Amino acid sequence: MIVVIRPNTPREKVDEVIQEVQRLGYDPRPIFGTQQTIVAAIGDERTHHTLESLNALPQVEKVMPVQKRYKLASRESHPGNSIVNVDGVEIGGEKFCVMAGPCSVESEEQLLTTARAVKAAGATILRGGAYKPRTSPYEFQGLGKEGLRLLDLARQETGLKIITEVLSENHVEHVAQCADILQIGARNSQNFQLLIECARTGKPILLKRGLSQRIEEWLLAAEYILAHGNPNVMFCERGIRTFETYTRNTLDLGAVAIIKRESHLPVIIDPSQGCGRADLVRALCGGAVAMGADGLIIEVHPHPAEALSDGQQQLDFGGFSGLMNDLQPLLTAMKRTV
Amino acid sequence: MIVVIRPNTPREKVDEVIQEVQRLGYDPRPIFGTQQTIVAAIGDERTHHTLESLNALPQVEKVMPVQKRYKLASRESHPGNSIVNVDGVEIGGEKFCVMAGPCSVESEEQLLTTARAVKAAGATILRGGAYKPRTSPYEFQGLGKEGLRLLDLARQETGLKIITEVLSENHVEHVAQCADILQIGARNSQNFQLLIECARTGKPILLKRGLSQRIEEWLLAAEYILAHGNPNVMFCERGIRTFETYTRNTLDLGAVAIIKRESHLPVIIDPSQGCGRADLVRALCGGAVAMGADGLIIEVHPHPAEALSDGQQQLDFGGFSGLMNDLQPLLTAMKRTV
Amino acid sequence: MIVVIRPNTPREKVDEVIQEVQRLGYDPRPIFGTQQTIVAAIGDERTHHTLESLNALPQVEKVMPVQKRYKLASRESHPGNSIVNVDGVEIGGEKFCVMAGPCSVESEEQLLTTARAVKAAGATILRGGAYKPRTSPYEFQGLGKEGLRLLDLARQETGLKIITEVLSENHVEHVAQCADILQIGARNSQNFQLLIECARTGKPILLKRGLSQRIEEWLLAAEYILAHGNPNVMFCERGIRTFETYTRNTLDLGAVAIIKRESHLPVIIDPSQGCGRADLVRALCGGAVAMGADGLIIEVHPHPAEALSDGQQQLDFGGFSGLMNDLQPLLTAMKRTV
Amino acid sequence: MIVVIRPNTPREKVDEVIQEVQRLGYDPRPIFGTQQTIVAAIGDERTHHTLESLNALPQVEKVMPVQKRYKLASRESHPGNSIVNVDGVEIGGEKFCVMAGPCSVESEEQLLTTARAVKAAGATILRGGAYKPRTSPYEFQGLGKEGLRLLDLARQETGLKIITEVLSENHVEHVAQCADILQIGARNSQNFQLLIECARTGKPILLKRGLSQRIEEWLLAAEYILAHGNPNVMFCERGIRTFETYTRNTLDLGAVAIIKRESHLPVIIDPSQGCGRADLVRALCGGAVAMGADGLIIEVHPHPAEALSDGQQQLDFGGFSGLMNDLQPLLTAMKRTV
C-alpha cells in the first residue's frame, strides 16, 4: 500500500501515519518528495488489516493499493490455461464449446425439439432455465423442479450436457443433481453465500459477470469459489449496463482479452443476454471467437415470438444452424474446432 | 404496449403482427401514420403474456410498454405516504429517523460505546453488520451469530432498535429474531429468493438500491416483498456506480424525489456508503434532509482508522454529534423533528 | 508517480525502469517489498514528462500518479472561497444567486415577460439561449444574433445581468459583447480552444460539467481558463449520464461538496437540465441549497408545453415564484440570502 | 409520437391533450385502453414542433417517439453500403483499411521512421496528431502547423494518405489543406459548429464517438455533416466510458454491428484509445475484423515508453507488423483484403 500524505502536512503528523502503519503490522517506508510525502507500507495486503481505513486520518490524502487482491484466480498463480472438464466435454482447450437452448424451459416438446436441433447444429451443452430471476414478480418464474426433470430427460435422450441457473442456496442440492454446470446469474455474481454453496458441490460453475461489475470484482467472486476448494470455474461475459438504450446491455468483448491476461480460467460469451436482440447475435458471436473466447452460450427457441421470456433475443433453429455455419471460417482462423 | 412496425412494411406483414397480438390475448388497434404504422395493444400487460417477444418478428422495429410494471409499490395504488412502524419508532411520517452505528460489529466494547454515543446524539436505531458481504474472500466477513448476540445486548442496554443486514436465505430466521429491521444490501437487491424469504418474516425491510439499478427495477424489487404480503418496505439509496473515481459511489439524491413521486413508501439515505468518504458525509446528510428523505443511516465507529471494514467512511463520535447539531436548522426548515 | 513492477521481475529489469525514470528527469527511489517492488519517482509531475508512458514496458504493472494535476483551481492554492463579481452581482459569497429564464430565446414577448416574472420572484440574472446545441440538425437551433439583441433589450429594461451559451470560437466576440456571463455547455466542456478563447475575454465563465466528466477533468477544464489568465470561473453541475431512464440525466448533488473541498471556485446547480423534468425541479433546488451550492440556474417559460426546446423541464411563472418561496426556509437555515 | 396519459385522468383533461396535439400540427388519434389512455399523434416528427414539450402538462405521463430522428445516415435511406473514397483509397468496400501512426507528431525523424514502418507492414493511411486535445493545460498540446508540415512531408515521401485531428473551427482550413481525412475527436463529437465547418470542406471525415454518446446521438452527429452536403462520413468507435478502471475506456465492438444495421456508412475501430493499453490491442483488432469493421486506426511509435502522449497504448514497430500478420487469417475468413 502507498499512503499519500496531504501537501504541507507537518512532520509530526506524518510520523503519526508512520506509527499507525507500523501498529497495523506493516513496515513503513516514508519518502519525502518535492511536492508531497508518501509512506510505502511493506507487507502482504491479503493477510493484514487493510490500510484503506487510514483515509480516516485528516492528513491522509489517499491510500493506493499496490498488490492484486486475487490470487488463485490470477495468471501468476497458474501460468498455463486451465481446462474445465464437464463430464468429458473440455472447456478452455483447443475445442470451442457451444452451449445452446431456450431461455426458459417451457414444456417437454419445446425443450426436446430444441435439444435435438442444437445438437444437430453442433452444440455439446444444452442450456435452459428452470428457475428464472425475473425483474417483476408478475413475470413467468420458471417451471422449477419440473423444468429440471425435463432437462434430465433431454440429457438422456440427446447426450448433451446440461447447464442451468441456480438462484438460491436452498436449490443448490437438487439443481446440482440434474446439472452438469451450475450457472450463477449476473444478479447473483456477488451473492457470496450462493457462490460458496455452489463451490461445495464440486461441479463446474459458470460465473456470469454482474451488471456493473469491475473485472477485479469478478475475479474476486471467482476467488471465493476457488478458495472454497472448487477449481472448475468459467467466466461468462453477458453484457454490462451502460447509458446505451438501443441494446439491453453492452457486450464487453474486451473482457475476454483482459481475463485471458489476468487469469487462467476459461471465458464464455453470452451474446443473447449481451445485447438482448436476436439480430445482433451473429456478429457478436464472430467477435467472441476472434477475441479468443473459449465458447458461447446462445439462446435458441422453436418460436421466439411466443417465448415466455426474452423472445426478442432468441434465435430460431434456422438462425442457429446458420450461425454455426457462419462461424466456421473464423474458428478455423483461430485454430479452434467445435 | 405499442408495437412499432418498420417503415415500408407491406400490409400483409402488418396483419401478421395484428394477429399475433390478438393471439397473445390483447385487442389490437393499428394506426397507419404518415411515416410509420403502429399497433396499439389493449389489455393489462401485468396479467398477459408480454409482447416484447414480438421484437423477434423481422417487421417489428420496437415494442414500447405503456403501463407501469409495479402496482402495490406505486403512488397510484396508495396516494398517501406509508408509515412503517418499527416497534414503536415510526418511519415515513413527520419524525425524521436517524440510524447509526458501526459498519461491522467488531466487539462488545466497540458496539456498546458506539450505541451509547449515537443514542446520546439522537439516533433511535442502531446499525451494525454481523454478516458482511465482502468483495474479497480474504476480507473480514463479520462475527456472524456472535455479532447478533452483541446487537441484542446493545438493544437491551440502550433501547435502540436494531437494523442489520441479512445475506442468506438460511440466515433469515435467526437474523429476524435479533433484528427489528432486516437490511437487504445493494448486492442482493435483485436476489429475489432472499427478498421473498425476508418478506415472510413480516419484519420491516430496508431495501438498498443495487449498484446500477434503475428506479423501475428497484420499485419492482419492493413489489416482490409487497406481493408476498409484507407492506413494511423502506427504500435506501446508497450510491450508484458511475465513471467517477473520486468517490466510491455517486449518491443519487434525486432518487428521493423520484421515489416520493412514484411510490408511497419511506426513503432513507445512506451517505456513508453513498460516497465512501467521511469528509463528505455531513454535506450529503444536509442534502438528504432538504430533498425530503425520511431518514439517514450513518456509519459511526470509535476509531475509524482501525475499523475492520470501511474505516474511511465512518465518522467518529465527535463527528456524528456535530453532524446531528448541524442538521437541526435544515430539519426545522423542512418541518421535521428527530 | 509510483511505478509498480510486476511480481517476479528480475533485478536487472527493475534497474531498467530505474534508469528510465532517471532519464525522464525524476529521482528514482526503489522499494523492494515482500510481494512486489515499486519505484517512487520524485519530481514535479506537472513540469516533467509524464511517466504513464512507462506502462509500455512489459515489466511495469501500473503507474500511479500521486500529485493532483490541477493547481490554480485547487483549494490548496487559494484556501478561501473565490467570489466572482458579475458587474456588481457577487457569486460565491453569502448571497445566493438565482439565474432564471427560458431554455431558448424565442421572441421579444416571450423573453421580456419571462425576464419581468423571474426578476419579480427574486432572480438577479437572466438566462436564455441564443445559440442552441441540438442533438439533431432538424431541431430549432436558436435565434442567433437576434436572440442576443433581445437579451440586451431585456437587460436594459430589467437590469438583470445576462448569461448565455457560447458554442463557437467564432461567436465569442459578439456573444461577449452582450453577455455578462459566458456559459460553456456540457458538450463543450472539453472543447479547449473554446475555453481558451472565452478566457481571453476576461468575462465570468460558467463551466458546465460534461455528460460523463470526472471531477478531476472538470477541474482541469477550469484550469485551462485560469491558466489563460481569467480567474472568474464558476462550475455548473447539470446532471451526468447514467443508466437511468426515468430522468434525462442524474443530477450529482454530491459534486457540490467535492468541488467545495477541492476548489475555491463557486458552484451553481442546474436542476432543469439535471433531471429534464419540471416536476422534480423543486426538490432538487432544495437539495442544492442544503448541499452548499452558491446558486441555481433554472429554466422558466411562459407556456412550457409550447416551448421550442425542452418544454418538459421548464417551469411556468407560478411554478418559479412558488419555488422561490419554498426555498426561503432552507436558505435561512443555510445562512444564505437571495 | 405516442402521448401516454396518466391513469384516472378525466375525459376533459384528455381532450386538452388532444387539442394541444392538433394545435402543434399533428393528427391526434386517442385510444382508450383498459388501464390507460394514449394519444397517437400522426405527422412527421422531423418537420413539426416536437411533442416532448407536452410532458409539461400534468396529465401527461410520458411522450414516446416512434420515428427515428436520423434520415440521411439511415440504412433505410441508402440500403447499400457507402464507400468513402480517400484520394484513391476506398473505405467501406471489400478492402480492409489500416490507418496507423503515432499518437502525436513529435519530430521529423519520429514521424518518417514510423510512416515507413507502418507502410511496410501494410497500412495505407498515416495517422498523427498535430493538434492534441489534452485533459490538462500542462500536457503537450501538439506541434500545430509544424506537425502538419511534417505530415505533408511524410505523405510526399511514402504516398500514404494523411488523417489528423481538427480541434477548432479556426484550424479547419489549414488542416484540410494537409489532411486527406479530417478526424473529429471524441470530445468534439457534439461540437456541431465544428462538424458543420468540416462538412463544408468536402473532405472525408472520421467521426469518433463521444465518451458517453448513445448510438442515436452519434448517428445524428453524422446527420449534421450529411445534411450540410458532405456524404463522406466514417464512424470511429474508440471506447466508451464505463465504471471499469482496468482499461481507460471500454471498447464497444458491438457498435460495429449496430451501425452496420442502422446506417450505410463505414465503421473504423480505434483499439488504442479504445482500451488505453498496448497489451490488449492485438486481441481487440481481431475482434474488430470479425465484427465486420471496415478498418482500424492504430497508434504506433518508435519508442512508446518515451512518447510525449499516451505511450502506454502505442505499439512499437515489431508489435505492429506482428499484429498485421496475425490478422491475416481473420481477414481471409471475413473475405477482406488489406
B306 in a structural domain: yes
Contact residues on chain A for C4, CB-CB shorter than 8 A: 66
Sheet holding B27-32, edge to edge: B27-32, B37-42, B2-5, B60-64
CB pairs under 8 A between C and D: 134
**Is A119 in a helix, a strand, or coil?**
helix
Kindly report the backbone phi and psi dihedral angles of residue C308, in degrees, each rounded to the nearest multiple of 5, phi listed first: -80, -15
| For B241, nearest residue in chain C (alpha carbons) | C242
Indicate whether D3 pLDDT > 90. yes
pLDDT at D301: 97
Mean pLDDT, chain C, as a whole number? 95
D44 close to B (CB below 8 A):
yes
Over the stretch D157-212, which tens digit does the pLDDT of each residue have?
999 999 999 999 999 999 999 999 999 999 999 999 999 999 999 999 999 999 99
A258 close to C (CB below 8 A):
no
Indicate whether D35 pLDDT > 90. no
Residue C79 CA: distances (Å) to CA of C73, C75, C264: 11, 5, 7
- Cβ distance B241 to D241 less than 8 Å, yes or no, reads no
pLDDT at D206: 98
CA gap C137, C135 in Å, rounded = 7
Shared domain for A49 and A91, answered yes or no, is: no
Shared domain for A97 and A149, answered yes or no, is: yes
How many domains would you assign to chain D? 2
Question: Of D281, A306, C137, whose CA–CA distance to B54 is shortest?
Answer: A306
Shared domain for C177 and C112, answered yes or no, is: yes
How many CA atoms, within 13 angstroms, populate the side-chain half-sphere of residue B130? Answer: 26
C84-86/C89-91 β-pairing: antiparallel
Over the stretch D260-271, which tens digit does the pLDDT of each residue have?
999 999 999 999
Per the CB < 8 A criterion, the answer to whether C37 and D129 are in contact is: no
Q: What angle do CA D31, D33, D34 make, to 5 degrees?
A: 165
A266 in a structural domain: yes
CA gap C105, C302 in Å, rounded = 12
pLDDT at B111: 98
Question: Of C201, C204, C202, C200, whose CA–CA distance to C162 is shortest?
Answer: C204
A206 in a structural domain: yes
Q: Which three cell numbers stand for residue D267?
A: 465503421
Over the stretch B233-259, which tens digit does the pLDDT of each residue have?
999 999 999 999 999 999 999 999 999
- Give DSSP secondary structure letters for B177-220: HH-SEEEEPGGGTT-HHHHHHHHHH---EEEEPPTT--HHHHHH
DSSP state of D159: -
- Determine the residue among B241, B243, B247 to mutate to test chain D binding: the one whose Cβ has the most chain D Cβ atoms within 10 Å: B243
Kindly report the backbone phi and psi dihedral angles of residue C178, in degrees, each rounded to the nearest multiple of 5, phi listed first: -95, -40
Indicate whether B335 pLDDT > 80. yes
- Determine the residue among B96, B211, B260, B291 to mutate to test chain C binding: the one whose Cβ has the most chain C Cβ atoms within 10 Å: B291
Question: Of A286, A215, A295, B242, whose CA–CA distance to D253 is shortest?
Answer: A286
Kindly report the backbone phi and psi dihedral angles of residue A287, in degrees, each rounded to the nearest multiple of 5, phi listed first: -60, -40
A73 in a structural domain: no
Residue that is last in its domain, among A64, A99, A114 = A64
pLDDT at D44: 79
Indicate whether C6 pLDDT > 80. yes
Q: Which three cell numbers stand for residue A120?
A: 444437430
C70 in a structural domain: no
- Cβ distance D260 to A283 less than 8 Å, yes or no, reads yes
Shared domain for A305 and A246, answered yes or no, is: yes
Q: Output Rg (C-alpha) for chain A, integer angstroms.
A: 23
CATH for D34:
3.30.70.1140
Per the CB < 8 A criterion, the answer to whether A251 and A239 are in contact is: yes
User: DSSP alpha helices (H): ranges in B62-144?
Assistant: 108-121
C69 in a structural domain: no
pLDDT at B295: 98
CA D293 from chain centre, in angstroms, equals: 12
Shared domain for A54 and A94, answered yes or no, is: no
Which of B46-60, B153-167, C20-34, D56-70 has maximum average pLDDT?
B153-167
B69 in a structural domain: no
Indicate whether B35 pLDDT > 90. no
Residue C49: pLDDT band (50, 70, 90) is confident
CA gap A304, B39 in Å, rounded = 19
Q: Which three cell numbers stand for residue B7?
A: 417503415
Over the stretch C100-154, which tens digit does the pLDDT of each residue have?
999 999 999 999 999 999 999 999 999 999 999 999 999 999 999 999 999 999 9
Per the CB < 8 A criterion, the answer to whether C22 and C79 are in contact is: no
Question: What is the per-residue burial (b if ≥16 Cβ within 10 Å, else e) of B289-323?
Answer: bbbbbbbbbbbbbbebbbbbbbbbbbbbbebbbeb
C278 close to D (CB below 8 A):
yes
Per the CB < 8 A criterion, the answer to whether D92 and D83 are in contact is: yes
Shared domain for A55 and A132, answered yes or no, is: no
CA A29 from chain centre, in angstroms, equals: 38
pLDDT above 70 covers a percentage of chain B that reads: 100
pLDDT at C85: 98
pLDDT above 90 covers a percentage of chain D that reads: 90
pLDDT at C65: 87
pLDDT at A1: 85
Longest CA–CA separation in chain A, Å: 77
CB pairs under 8 A between B and C: 123
Indicate whether D245 pLDDT > 80. yes
Per the CB < 8 A criterion, the answer to whether A24 and A74 are in contact is: no
Per the CB < 8 A criterion, the answer to whether A199 and A230 are in contact is: yes
The residue-averaged pLDDT of C209-223 equals 97
- Give DSSP secondary structure letters for A238-305: --B--S--SSSSB--THHHHHHHHHBSS-EEE-HHHHHS-HHHHHHHHHHHHHHT-SEEEEEB-SSGG
Shared domain for A159 and A213, answered yes or no, is: yes
Over the stretch B203-235, which tens digit does the pLDDT of each residue have?
999 999 999 999 999 999 999 999 999 999 999
A75 in a structural domain: no
pLDDT at A36: 87
pLDDT at B283: 98
Mean pLDDT, chain B, as a whole number? 95
Residue B264: pLDDT band (50, 70, 90) is very high
Shared domain for D179 and D58, answered yes or no, is: no
pLDDT at D104: 97
Residue that is last in its domain, among C64, C91, C112 = C64
pLDDT at B47: 74
Indicate whether C332 pLDDT > 80. yes
The residue-averaged pLDDT of D203-225 equals 98
Contacts of B156 (CB under 8 A, 6+ apart): none
Question: Of C327, C318, C336, C332, whose CA–CA distance to C118 is shortest?
Answer: C318
CA gap D195, D182 in Å, rounded = 10
Question: Position of cell 432552507?
Answer: C330
Question: Of B114, B171, B113, B112, whose CA–CA distance to B142 is shortest?
Answer: B171
Shared domain for D232 and D274, answered yes or no, is: yes
Shared domain for C50 and C138, answered yes or no, is: no
Mutual angle of helices A192-201 and A215-227, in 10-degree steps:
40
Residue C236 is part of which domain span?
A: 75-333
- Cβ distance C33 to A66 less than 8 Å, yes or no, reads yes
Mutual angle of helices B215-227 and B254-262, in 10-degree steps:
50
Question: Of A308, A315, A320, A222, whose CA–CA distance to A276 is shortest?
Answer: A315
Nearest to A257 among D245, D261, D283 (CB): D283
Q: Which parts of chain A register pLDDT below 50?
A: none
pLDDT at A303: 95
Residue D34: pLDDT band (50, 70, 90) is confident
CATH for A130:
3.20.20.70
Residue that is last in its domain, among B64, B93, B116 = B64
Shared domain for A191 and A271, answered yes or no, is: yes
pLDDT at A184: 98
- Share in percent of chain D as helix, strand, coil (round to 5): 40, 20, 40
Shared domain for C144 and C249, answered yes or no, is: yes
The residue-averaged pLDDT of C188-212 equals 97
Q: Which three cell numbers stand for residue B21?
A: 397480438
pLDDT at D78: 95
Indicate whether D48 pLDDT > 90. no
Over the stretch B101-150, which tens digit does the pLDDT of each residue have?
999 999 999 999 999 999 999 999 999 999 999 999 999 999 999 999 99
